[in-house]
Chains A and B, each alone.
Chain A
Amino acid sequence: MTEEMMLQGCLDNLSTAEEALYNRFSPRMLGVCYRYARNREDAEDMLQEGFIKVYSQIHQYKAIGALEGWIRKIIVHTCINILKKNKKFSDSVDLVHASGIEISDNNIPSMMQAKQVVECIRLLPLGYRTVLNLYAIEGFSHKEISTILEIEESTSRSQYTRAKSLLEEILIKKKILQKPRENVRMVSIK
């Protein structure tokens, strides 16, 4: 089923089209949710809420950009909104956690490729992880992040710097990133 058919079907409330849309985009979107969530169950809750928003707002899609990008935007905002409801998140995103965090080799799960990198990201504290996700992966600016998360722009910058540094340390320990730092490279086997 093409995207046009799926869109038209969704507009007509046809469950076949809705399911086709879900089947096409849900695996990647669950990957997105998983980077923000604490565990798989939370990620699935985020995905469910996100897709319900997608279907309810699909008439607003203008077919200017890619459909996947539009869906992803809704999913990311849903994830952030769910995280913001959690008080622990509000605390963690404003505080500096870098000192005192110890990453041992045992903490890093042994998995490969994309999942390995994502699991390394998930080892970061929630606040760091969220800022890193929004800045490095979703492409938001620090100004936009400060608006989304309702924090200072400078906080976003410092959170990101520390997140990046911590992630680098994790990736090196996991031997995904290799020293020397002047010529650090990320190894990916395809």
Chain B
Amino acid sequence: MERRFDMSDFEQALKDHADQFKMLPSKRVWNGIYNNLHPGSRWPSITVAVILMITLITLGNLNNSPKTFLNGEQKVSFVNSNEADSKVDGTKKASVKEFEKKKTGQFIASISPNNLIKSVPVPADPTTHGSNTMTLLVTPNAASVNAINTYSLKSNPHDIGNTKSLPDLLSTKRIGNADIHFSNGNNRKVSPLKQQIALSLSNETEAAFNTAKALVQYTPSFLDEVMKVNLDQYYWNRINNNNKVLAYSPEKYPGLTNSEDMDISIKRDNITETNSKQIPGKNEVNVSANKKMARIHKKRNSKIEWEYYVTPLVSNATFRGKPLYSRPDPGMTPIVVTSNEPLREMVYNARMGIETGVQMNYKFLKKWAFVTGVNLSYSGYKIMSFPIHPTSASLVLQDENTGMVYSKRYVARFGNGTIQNNKSLNNYSYQVSMPLGLRYTLWGNNNMQVNLLSSFAPTAILKSNAYIISSDTKYYVQDPSLLRPVNVNGSFEPTITFSAHKIKWHMGPQIRYQLLSTYKNNYSIKEHLINYGIKIGISR
């Protein structure tokens, strides 16, 4: 159709056209509004806080548990690990049991004679105007059912009528059940938020009803499975994501008390399509234009995502191997044996470190991304030692190529062991590395994702300081020439990603293990650094 107007109607024409124009806002707008209106419901913050707390407690435990080496076996102490496990198991069992209990309908409420009228606020149905069904189940026997004289469906402040005798209904239904159908929106203007079902009991049979229990099942037409709800009722709070209803979360109805907790899990419903069909046909072109814009927008937001992060970490080390020991030989050829003398154990402890860097995520499949970047880290561990007068100490080394064994002498200033006058020696390194890895999105939507990241990182040691235990395990000596200039790290990171105010937050624990020994192969003891950290990153 062609519409005409003169320039004298310019304003009106302009207004008409402009008023027709609609755009669908992105979900972040509603998220921003919702967070502003209901600041208490920022559950991602709570989740992250809980994760941080658990991780910090775990790391704190690790940090305060000294380890030993060269004492026959490595001892790693965990505080009451068995007890903790049993507690976890106990909690799990209890929660499963609780869930089963609720699932089987044990939360049915009792109706007591001194509270003859029970009100059940009906959950709001914001989108549909069809017929909803409310089913009243009364147990355990027909006698108590007969105690219900009438029932009525009410809408505050006015009763919408529809009062009928329950026994009449029961004659056509199963004993104990009464289906109450009511119309929501088509015939009557009732506020679903205020609809109530009221049970009115006859005086004569109050005593008989004393033990009766009632359960109300409410099935809104927009849900695809029945919700069993308590008489002490809740209403449902829609959780939306981009106009798709994902779930309904129960909230206590204001003014009601003694409500029991309950779990309601509801499958995805068909409301998504209903919502999308709400757009009037005349605006289809606008919608397609919006989709086109969205596609353009998507293209601009390429598959590459830059993430900046910092990882506070607790660093420690693991050791393998035993020191070689040499004994002077009259023929000047050292005979290499493993010492039979008891070795002094090496006591060491974790220390704090930090890692920071930039990471590039290139998404090449829906759930897979290639990850690379650059990071700088500072990590190490503490050795328990004590100062001594300068003393001669030796390291027995083995040439990698020829297998020849030789000895190097050093001046040692620290002894191995713990006495009253002990001192912590810091073994540390500054490293720069370039991780190469893959990230898999385990679960997620536009708001939140759970990712698993695994990577290898060629690493250059920028600066390091290492106290090495002497071959007789009595002293600590320093020899930078024994340290590798490059290494390889492997890491594993489960990460939670969520969006807040245009920024994506990435958080999660990180485990990084140094795959090659800190020392070169001519030293017989192998040291591997291991870092436990909490990665906190942001991206656009």
Contacts and interface: CB of A to CB of B under 8 A. Distances in A.
Binding partners A and B? yes
B79 interface: no
Given A8-B191, A26-B25, A115-B289, A137 B6 contact: no
Contacts of B10: 136, 164, 168
Contacts, number: 163
A137 B289 contact: no
A124 B5 CA distance: 22
A55 B37 contact: yes
A117 interface: yes
Category for how many chain B residues contact A: 35 or more
Contact of B275 (A23, A43, A111, A181): A23
B18 A16 contact: no
A147 interface: no
Contacts of B74: none
A183 interface: yes
Contacts of B282: 190
Contacts of A125: none
A137 B285 contact: no
Given A2-B189, A186-B4, A13 B285 contact: no
Contacts of B33: 18, 22, 48, 51-52, 55
A22 B185 CA distance: 20
Residue from B7, B11, B21 having most chain A Cβ neighbours under 10 A: B21
Interface in A84-129: 111-115, 117-118, 121
A34 B7 CA distance: 25
B193 A188 contact: no
Interface string B1-28: 1111111001101110111111111101
Contacts of B1: 188-190
Contacts of A186: 3-5, 13, 17
B11 A16 contact: no
Contacts of B4: 185-187
Interface residues of A, number: 58
B217 to A, nearest CB: 21
Given A8-B193, A17-B124, A52-B33, A31 B2 contact: no
B64 interface: no
A117 to B, nearest CB: 4
A142 B468 CA distance: 84
Interface in B457-510: none
B238 interface: yes
A135 B254 CA distance: 46
B430 to A, nearest CB: 40
Interface of B: 1-7, 10-11, 13-15, 17-26, 28-30, 32-34, 36-38, 124, 126-127, 185, 189, 191-193, 235-238, 240, 243, 254, 275, 279, 282, 285-286, 289, 293, 297
